[in-house]
Amino acid sequence: MLTRLAPSPTGALHLGNARTFLVNWALARQNGWRVLLRIEDLDGPRVKAGASEGAIEILQWLGLDWDIGPVSQTDDLTPYRAALERLVSRGLAYPCRCTRSQILAASLSAPHAGDHELRYPGTCRPAPGERIDLSRLDDPEVSWRFLTPDEPVPFNDAFAGPQSFNPQLEVGDFLVATKQCQPSYQLAVVVDDARQGVTQVVRGDDLLGCTSRQLLLYRALGLGPEPAYTHLPLVVGEDGRRLAKRHGDTRLSHYRDRGVSPERVIGLLAEWCGLGGRREMSATEFAERFELASMPSEQVVFAAVDDRWLGS
């Protein structure tokens, strides 16, 4: 069994990311899963210089470790290209020339709650039975969309329970690659999870809807076995919105640089995970005591009192 920690180096890790990574790591250590560290750096324009190194350092500072990696998605793009070719040759992906508006471009990344997701209306969808010439893959000007069936795709989430989404209704024929065959988040994550042998996906529940899309890609590409999914509620600010810059500086590096200990940070995360009143503890102790069944199913609110506990 293998799980992955998959930070996107698009910014520094904050308390919300840390909670998900800590739980993922603790589940791995409890269940004997190996851990892979995968840097999801395909989203070129949003990747920030130094953020990969920053993520690795801060995970180590928290006391987390991994058995494999770090591996970076940009190390080798050929597996994504091969998957795209397979989809096209099976008549399951088609070229699209629709103008790239900012919102469509945003759907390349993991679309987190609060981001706008447009439903693609199918403008460039080929006629039934129309063949797509593989040579179109050499056209740097086209994007590629998955011919998404109109059906619910159910799955059972280990934390959130039974789920079902119909990607066609939600987002339509979603992007699998943009210009110059740059793989989208949806395609890359499936290709990577499958080739790296990931069996356990643990992540924030803003990605629940993406799971149905990813399962469709697993099946379209003939990949498997499909991983088990565990989606965890997010940390939000007092305004109910996903933790972000507007809630002040909640980056782990900010606390570290002010001399706050990792044990103190984990103490707060542990309380948020249902371990009782906050007190300082190491990642190892957290892993010994954490129980998924006792984790609150509601979103966690980061309040001013929490910030004070961290000495800000």
List the 153-157 sheet strands across, edge first.
Answer: 68-72, 34-39, 2-5, 200-204, 228-232, 153-157, 161-165
Which of 3-11, 143-151, 234-242, 278-286 is the region at the interface with ligand GLU (rule: CB under 6 A)? 3-11
Nearer to ligand GLU, 132 or 190 (CB): 190
43 lines the binding site for ligand GLU (CB under 6 A)? no
Q: Rg for the chain (alpha carbons), in Å?
A: 20
DSSP 3-state of 20: helix
Integer Cα distance of 126 and 90 in angstroms: 13
* Buried-state track 122-136, b at ≥16 Cβ within 10 A, e below 16: eebbeeeeeebeeee
Strand partners, 202: 230
- Which CB sits closer to ligand GLU, 58 or 189? 189
Distance CA(156)–CA(241), nearest Å, equals 26
Work out how close the CB of 133 gets to ligand GLU at its nearest, in angstroms, rounded to a whole number: 32
The CA angle 122-125-126, to the nearest 5 degrees, is: 165
Question: Shortest Cβ distance from residue 158 to ligand GLU (Å)?
Answer: 14
Written as one letter, the residue type at 220 is A
* Residue type at position 35: V
Shortest Å distance, C-beta 39 to ligand GLU: 9
Distance in angstroms (rounded) separating the CA atoms of residues 6 and 36:
8
Residues between 23 and 42 that touch ligand GLU (CB under 6 A): 40
Nearer to ligand GLU, 203 or 242 (CB): 203
Interface mask (CB under 6 A) for ligand GLU, residues 234-273, using x and -?
----------------------------------------
Window contacting ligand GLU (CB under 6 A); options: 4-12, 119-127, 224-232, 262-270? 4-12
Token pair 């001399």 in the structure block, residue: 259
Q: Which is nearer to ligand GLU, 168 or 184 (CB)?
A: 184
Scan residues 93-132 and list those touching ligand GLU (CB under 6 A).
110
Residues 173-192 binding ligand GLU (CB under 6 A) are: 189
Binding site for ligand GLU (CB under 6 A): 6-8, 40, 110, 189, 203, 207
